[in-house]
Amino acid sequence: MTTSRVIHLAADDVSVLLVFEGELLPTLAHWGRRLDAPDPDLLAWAGSTHRTGMEGESDVPYDPSLLPEHTHGWGGRPGLSLHRSGAAWSPRLSVQTVDVDGEPVAAGGVVRRGASTVRVVARDCVAQVAVVLEIGLTAAGLLRTRAVVRNESEGSDHLDVGAVCLALAVPTDAREVLDFAGRWATEKVPQRHPVAVGMHTRESRRGRTGLDATGTMAIGTPGFDSRSGEVWLCHVGFGGNHEHAVERSDGHLAFRGGELLLPGEVRLARGEEYSSPWVYGSYAEGLDAASHRFHRFLRDASRATGRPRPVTLNIWEAVLFDQDLDTLAELATQAADLGVERFVVDDGWFRGRRDDHAGLGDWTPDPDVWPDGLGPLAEHVRSLGMELGLWVEPEMINEDSDLARAHPDWILRARPQLPLRQRHQQVLDLTAADAFAHVLDALDRLVTDLDLAYLKWDHNRDLVDAGHPGSGAAAVHEQTLAAYRLIDELRVRHPRLEIESCASGGGRVDLGILERTDRVHPSDNHDPLDRSRILRWTGLLVPPEMLGSHVASATSSVTGRTHDLHTRCAIAFLGHFGIEWDVRGLGDADRALLARWVAAYKDNRQLVATGRVVTSGDADADAPSLRGVVAADGSEALYTIVTPHLSADSRRRVRLPGLEPDRRYRIEAAQPESLGPPWLVPQWLRTVPALGEGPSDSSDSPDSPDSSGPLVLAGDLLTRTGLDLPTFHPERVVLLRVVAVTTTPQSVNPPRSRP
């Protein structure tokens, strides 16, 4: 009688097939397109790969599990790296129990479920180790897994855990990898390369996700792009040290991921446990569909879409450290006149903070600058109908601060000397109960006293030589979990508080932090062309409404390039729209134009926050790049289209993905002053209504572009054939809005707000 167990999870259009043979940990036998096969066939198929080895007892081939084991002859990276005083380093785990959503699964059968969680308990009685393996499939078809390791020693000896590296197997015909490099202000630089035998590893040992971190790693069939080719998009949901990797061996390919533990970080006493981060995977046809599963997961977990995303003004690039009540009150007044809804006071408001050399840790308003505290500014901001937000960096400390002078023992260090300074700062030891309580109370008072709606939570240095003061033992693991607890506890005390994850820009963007924050700051670089790339690739993981997207000054403080206001606003539009600019000096024309963009964003932000993201143009340097959001019911869509930097073509057809083929759509556009010589501009661009000027009731319109009404075309035409677009002028941005029309003309309402 067979002892095989087969668990088939299916959700959306994805199947996950787990096969258990005897007491071995399960293999991920299929993760991909939804399967349709009867139970006997699944059992027969599972048994069809069985190999006896030599004479049934030697050289028995091993199919690696989700936690591959060295003891069975696996020559790649083991799933577990652990030991007990040098012994018990090669565990041989035997499955004890298997359940699906709490219901036990017996051997010798097939269990079918939809979105569910499988829980596997396995033990090695010799090594005195237990492992709980969790494998879940969400309703959106997102796969995730983690492992919990427990020390079941009968004595007092510790179990040292060096690594838990999970494996999500993918078919070997996935032969290309897409991952990302970067640096400060240049996050998410794509790099594409073939899968090779061995290990391609992207490690982050910075104590935060990292500006150079890949964030996501895609493995797919050759040539996969936005909407074609099978692709497996993977992510490790942890903001501390971690690893993304692709491992290829004899007949086996897998994404490998987990936390990178420093020496001695996890030493389990009897009965203690270590839980790995969740490792996530999304299978789909094309990157857009794979990305959408992550977006659905985050939208279910986050409160960001629970209310309209407020238009934000952040004061950093407007005034830097030059802050006082009169300056910020005037800036707030002018922001409110533009339609801004949230006013954020950035770095520089607290005691001793005239530059970035001092003050971190002293979270009270500077009495020299704010003799009456921040209360008068808070009252002024609220009197204008805006929320107040505040910048903090609670995990850091300056040596030149009252807190550091009072508690030098609260600074992380691996030796008696302090670590090298980065950004003139050190790391506050949140693993120390007194330090944790001090910071929590300081933040609690600020939020309470000022009635703050929002914190911009920064993290401006890597964790280098981050050891527990006194012992010097590595502390990154515990520090990361302490930061999570700090945010969680603050949000328990203030359920309506929203928090942005910022880390020198996009240095902490991962599902560990995003499950407890409301948006991320993708980069300190507001240059719109660079921002377009950063938004696109950060958006593989993060939905647009959680991507801070600001309009800054005409000349970028990072790149030195100059762009007109139309370009800066059009790129920022498909995100959480905001301003980071000194609007006090605006001329009348720019002021009016910016106010129209703000109003247009308010008209469309619900679509941005709920629509399905679509993209194109990534694989063709000559093609315009496109990033859009399409309503779930196909009723409307927004597209940002950027002409290429350099192209041999003077024109290209741009397809608008995601529209319903059997519906007709009218088109509006916000376009630059020039896309090329007048004779190259097609008829539709010369006659299309401006963004917000089309009929607001979705009525039908005349079909001819020569008529007085807007152009109306079938969704099938727009998606399959596309619109002719000049590419003569480089790096020009067109923002399109398309709206499904009814078959019967109706009266035209007053035009919507438009830029």
Active-site amino acid positions: 458, 524
3-state secondary structure at position 47: helix
Q: How far apart are CA 4 and CA 50, in angstroms?
A: 11
Q: CA torsion angle for 274, 277, 281, 282 (degrees, to 10)?
A: 130
Neighbours of 745 (CB within 10 A): 14
Query: Which tokens sit at 458?
Result: 């920064």
Rg for the chain (alpha carbons), in Å? 28
User: Considering only CA atoms, which of 226, 140, 121, 136 is closest in space to residue 178?
Assistant: 226
C-alpha closest to that of 642 among 564, 726, 534, 525: 726
- Give the E-state strand segments of 525-675 in sequence order: 548-551, 576-579, 612-616, 625-630, 636-642, 651-654, 664-670
Closest CA to 523 of 539, 515, 511, 513: 539
The angle at the Cα of 309, spanning 207 to 329, to the nearest 5 degrees, equals 90
Are 733 and 693 in contact, with CB atoms under 8 Å apart? no
**CA-closest candidate to residue 487, choices 443, 537, 531, 422:** 443
Instruction: Kindly state the DSSP code that residue 374 receives in the 8-state scheme.
Output: S
Q: Which residues contact 353 (CB under 8 A, 6 or more apart)?
A: 321, 347, 359, 360, 366
Q: Work out the end-to-end distance of the chain between its first and last CA atoms, rounded to an integer number of angstroms.
A: 72
CB contact at 8 A, 440 and 400: no
Tell which residue, 602, 664, 657, 598, has the closest CA to residue 630: 657
Per-residue tokens: 550:
């600001």
CB 118 within 8 A of CB 97: no
Q: How many CB atoms lie within 10 A of CB 755?
A: 22
For 528, the enclosing helix (H) or strand (E) is: helix 528-538
Spatial CA neighbour of 684 closest among 733, 723, 715, 726:
723
What span, in angstroms and rounded, lies between the C-alpha atoms of 724 and 721?
9
Q: Which residues contact 483 (CB under 8 A, 6 or more apart)?
A: 239, 395, 430
Tokens of 343: 């006013």
Structural contact between residues 368 and 323, judged by C-beta atoms closer than 8 angstroms: no
Let me know: does 396 contact 358? Beta carbons within 8 Å: no
Strand intervals (E) in 21-115: 27-33, 80-83, 94-100, 103-104, 109-113
Strand-strand pairing, 273-275 and 217-220: unpaired
Q: Please, what is the angle between helix 588-610 and helix 565-572, to 10°?
A: 20
- Backbone phi, then psi, for 448, in 5-degree steps? -70, -50
DSSP code of residue 685: H
Taking each continuous run of H as one helix and of E as one strand, the counts in the chain are 14, 40
Nearest Cα residue to 145 out of 12, 27, 46, 261: 27
Residues 6+ apart with CB under 8 A from 36: none
Q: How far is CA 153 from CA 92, 150, 273, 727, in A?
A: 15, 9, 12, 68
Judge whether 325 and 376 are in contact, CB under 8 Å. yes
